[in-house]
Structure 1
C-alpha cells in the first residue's frame, strides 16, 4: 500500500482518492500521476488492502478509482463491498485497452462512472479540476445518475474564447466540416490541410490530424507534416480507440498529444486550448 499527498488535508477542496489496481501499467500511468496533483491518494494493489484502508476512520475518500486491466478483474460483488465501506465516495472505473467493448459484451458495474484510459487526459483532468475548484462536476452527481445526465452536467460554457488559426488535416470532408464548425464556435479560425500534400501554412497555433489507426500508412503523412511544420506547432493526433502502442507510434511520428475517437467537444477543447495557448 502506498500513500501520496500533495495538498494539505486542511484544504476543504482537496480530492482524496483510493486507487485500486496496478499503476505501473503504461496505460494507467498518466491518470495515476494526475491524481497526486489534487489531493491525498492511497494506492492499493490488493482488494483486501483497499477494504482495510476504508475500514480506517482517518480516511474517507471522495473517489475510488478502480484501474481495471481486463474485463472481470473486479467483480460487481467486490465493487458493492467497496461502496458499502465508503458510501459517500464516487466509484470511477478506469478501463484499460482490453476492456474496450465491455459495455456491449460484459456486465458493467452499476452506479459507477466509466472512463477509458485514453479519455482520462481530457475528461479526467477536467472533472478533477472541477471537483478541486468546488464547482459542478459530472463526477459529483449521485451514483445513480445516467450517462446522459453526466454528459449534461459535464458540459459547461467556455470561460474563455480561443484565438488564432487551427489547421485540420484530414482526407474526409465530413470530418473537416464538423471539426471546423466546432473550432469556429469556440473562436478559432480554421483551414484544411490534405494529408497527401505538402503543408504550406503560416501562423497556425495547432493542427488537428485525423487518422483511424497508427499503422505506417497513416503515420507517414503525420511524419511528413511534422517535417513541414517544424517542432514549434503542436499536432493533436485523433485516433480511433487507440491502444498504448498506437499512442506511442503517433508520438514517435511527431504528434504532440493523442485524442481518442469518438470524442466529446469538451475533450477536444481541453487539449486544443492548452496546446494553442488559450487555456484559462
Structure 2
C-alpha cells in the first residue's frame, strides 16, 4: 500500500537534525487542520492516510513505525474506541493524539472521550508541537513519551532552558490578568510591561513581542487588537492573541489585524513561552 510521504529537514535550535515519524489520519488537507499543518517546519517523516482502516493497513504492510499518530477529528465521535484499538495493535509503541476541530469544542459537543489517546484542540496543536520540538532539541523527553495519567498528561513539558530576551508588552483589561501572565513568564526572564487597552505611552521604544488577551474578537476587540499590533510593530515586535474558543476565521482576522499567532485559553505556560521564543 502506498501513501503520500512528506519529509521536512530543518536544523533545530541546538544545531542537530532529528526526525520524528508521524502518521496523519483523516482530513488533514481541509479547514482548520490544513491551516495548522502547513507552517510546521520541524523535520519529520509525515505520511497520510484518509481513515483508520487505511492507516492500520499501511502499518501492517510497511516498515513505517511512527512515534505519533495524529487523528484529525472534524466532528464529535468521528473515531471510536475500536479505531484506537486497531491502530494500537498495528503500532503499539506509537502515541495517538486526537486533534479536535472547531465543531468538537464545547460542553455539549465534545464527543465520547476515547481511551488511550491524548486530546488537543486544533489551535493548541501548533504550540504543543513547537514546545515538544524545543524540548527534544535540548535533550528532553517529548510529551508523547509521558504516561496518560492526569488532565494535562502529554502536555507537561520539560522546563525550557532558553530565556525571553527583551520586552514583552501585555495588553489586557485587568491587572490580575497581567500579573498572572507576568508571573508565568518571570522564570524565563521576560521583562513584562502592561499596555492597558490603548495606553502605550509607558512602553519602551523596542519591544520583542506582544500578548493581546481577548475574547472572541467582536468588532471593538478586533479594532483594539489592530491598534495594539500596530504599536508593537512600530517597536519591532510581533503579537500573539490569546482568545476564547478560537475558530478558523479568527486566524485570518488576527493576521489581518497585524497579529502573528493565535492561542486558546487556558494556555500551557511552556507552550506560550515556546511561541514567544519563536517570535524573537
Fold in common (TM above 0.5)? yes
Instruction: Give the distance between the partners of 2:141 and 2:29, measured in 1 at CA.
Output: 31
Instruction: Give the distance between the partners of 1:35 and 1:119, measured in 2 at CA.
Output: 13
The partner residue of 2:167 within 165, 173, 190 is 165
**Does the 8 A contact of 1:236 with 1:256 survive in 2?**
yes
Provide structure 2 residue ranges, at least 5 long, that are not aligned to the other structure.
10-15
User: Aligned pair in 2 of structure 1 residues 99, 200: CA closer, same or farther (>3 Å)?
Assistant: same
Match of 1:127 in 2: 132
**Does the 8 A contact of 1:17 with 1:63 survive in 2?**
yes
Is structure 2 residue 238 aligned with structure 1 residue 273?
no
Instruction: Give the distance between the partners of 2:63 and 2:260, measured in 1 at CA.
Output: 41
Which secondary structure state, in structure 2, belongs to the residue aligned with residue 60 of structure 1?
A: coil
Higher helix share: 1
User: Aligned pair in 2 of structure 1 residues 22, 244: CA closer, same or farther (>3 Å)?
Assistant: same
User: Aligned pair in 2 of structure 1 residues 257, 149: CA closer, same or farther (>3 Å)?
Assistant: closer
Instruction: Give the distance between the partners of 2:41 and 2:178, measured in 1 at CA.
Output: 37
Match of 2:6 in 1: 4
Shift of 1:122: 1.0
The partner residue of 1:32 within 28, 37, 43 is 37
What's the RMSD between the two structures over aligned residues? 2.7
User: Aligned pair in 2 of structure 1 residues 20, 150: CA closer, same or farther (>3 Å)?
Assistant: closer
Match of 1:244 in 2: 248
**Does the 8 A contact of 1:138 with 1:150 survive in 2?**
yes
- CA offsets, 1:146-180, max 9 Å, x none? 334435xx332331222222111111121011112
Is structure 2 residue 233 aligned with structure 1 residue 227?
no
Is structure 2 residue 184 aligned with structure 1 residue 214?
no
Count of aligned residue pairs for this structure pair: 271
User: Aligned pair in 2 of structure 1 residues 131, 157: CA closer, same or farther (>3 Å)?
Assistant: closer
Shift of 1:38: 2.8
User: Aligned pair in 2 of structure 1 residues 61, 104: CA closer, same or farther (>3 Å)?
Assistant: same
Normalised to the residue count of structure 2, the TM-score between the two structures is 0.86
Is structure 2 residue 207 aligned with structure 1 residue 204?
yes
The partner residue of 1:257 within 258, 261, 272 is 261
User: Aligned pair in 2 of structure 1 residues 50, 167: CA closer, same or farther (>3 Å)?
Assistant: same
Which secondary structure state, in structure 1, belongs to the residue aligned with residue 20 of structure 2?
A: coil
Instruction: Give the distance between the partners of 1:115 and 1:182, measured in 2 at CA.
Output: 22
